[in-house]
């Protein structure tokens, strides 16, 4: 079996995905690039239909990244999957409060989830920054985002909503899709932290050339 370098594997994978995608007329070129990145991560072509984009969501996300946005994730897995060279080159940051002992303490005291506390902490810590929330695991994080937005306490640059599972997953995503915030959401039960990270990377790679490092 021939040994193929990682860059060549990705290039060939994208060629295969392109050949098998079918009708993409409902997507812009930027949306298509995001869908392809998610399919590359999951090998699941259902995302061609499941991934939903609010009007100008991609443009809002790219503008925030150009402005040095903070990406807030709800899992360390999503955080670890986001390209650090791209973040650095663009002057952006990525953070996750979930594993912080202070988050656990506050959740116990409030009788709520660490995911909800993490959203509260991010809203406070980055009140003066453009923030992209990449939520790939916790429906309660999306629920708390909607609560803070409805209360006028938070206006995200973009919400990426891709929790996976069965309990509160679909309703939490629908809460985000039903509001005016720019959003990219994996409708239905499918998703995951890897999907959230893939969407972040797809946006970053529209602004960052991995070959040149610029």
- On whether residue 27 sits in a domain, the answer given is no
Instruction: Count Cβ neighbours within 10 Å for each residue of 118-132 and write b for 16 or more, e otherwise.
Output: bbbbbbeebeebbbb
Contact assessment for residue 43 and residue 208, using Cβ atoms and an 8 Å cutoff:
no
Structure tokens at 62: 């790219």
Structure tokens at 16: 């295969």
Question: 40 catalytic, yes or no?
Answer: yes
- On whether residue 26 sits in a domain, the answer given is no
Contact assessment for residue 65 and residue 90, using Cβ atoms and an 8 Å cutoff:
yes
Cβ-proximal residues to 54 (8 Å cutoff; 6+ apart), any chain: 177, 181, 182, 183, 184
Active-site residue (options: 26, 40, 60, 95): 40
- On whether residue 9 sits in a domain, the answer given is no
On the CB side of 49, CA atoms within 13 Å amount to 6
On the CB side of 150, CA atoms within 13 Å amount to 10
At 4 the pLDDT is 65
Element (H, E) at 12: helix 6-20
At 125 the pLDDT is 97
- On whether residue 123 sits in a domain, the answer given is yes
Range of the domain at 119: 46-205
Give strand ranges (E) for 63-150.
70-73, 93-96, 131-135
- On whether residue 210 sits in a domain, the answer given is no
The CATH number of the domain holding residue 162 is 3.40.50.10230
Report the Cα–Cα distance between both ends of the chain, in Å, rounded.
34
Q: How many domains does the chain have?
A: 1
**Strand-by-strand arrangement of the 51-53 sheet:** 51-53, 183-186, 158-161, 131-135, 70-73, 93-96
- On whether residue 36 sits in a domain, the answer given is no
- On whether residue 212 sits in a domain, the answer given is no
Cβ-proximal residues to 162 (8 Å cutoff; 6+ apart), any chain: 134, 135, 136, 185, 186, 191, 192, 193, 195, 196, 199
- On whether residue 18 sits in a domain, the answer given is no
Question: What stretches in the chain show pLDDT beneath 50?
Answer: none
């Amino acid at each position: 079996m021939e040994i193929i370098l990682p860059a060549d594997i990705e290039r060939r994978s994208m060629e295969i995905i392109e050949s098998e995608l079918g009708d993409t007329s409902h997507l812009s070129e930027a949306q298509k690039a995001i869908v392809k990145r998610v399919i590359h991560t999951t090998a699941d072509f259902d995302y061609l239909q499941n991934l939903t984009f609010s009007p100008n969501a991609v443009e809002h996300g790219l503008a925030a990244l150009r402005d040095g946005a903070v990406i807030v994730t709800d899992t360390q897995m999503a955080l670890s999957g986001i390209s650090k060279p791209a973040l650095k080159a663009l002057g952006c940051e990525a953070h996750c409060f979930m594993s912080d002992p202070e988050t656990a303490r506050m959740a116990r005291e409030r009788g709520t989830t660490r995911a909800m506390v993490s959203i509260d902490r991010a809203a406070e810590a980055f009140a003066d920054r453009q923030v992209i929330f990449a939520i790939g695991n916790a429906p309660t994080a999306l629920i708390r985002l909607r609560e803070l937005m409805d209360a006028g306490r938070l206006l995200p640059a973009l919400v990426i909503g891709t929790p996976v599972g069965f309990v509160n997953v679909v309703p939490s995503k629908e809460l985000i899709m039903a509001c005016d915030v720019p959003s990219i959401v994996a409708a239905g039960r499918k998703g995951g932290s890897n999907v959230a990270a893939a969407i972040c990377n797809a946006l970053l790679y529209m602004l960052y050339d991995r070959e040149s490092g610029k």
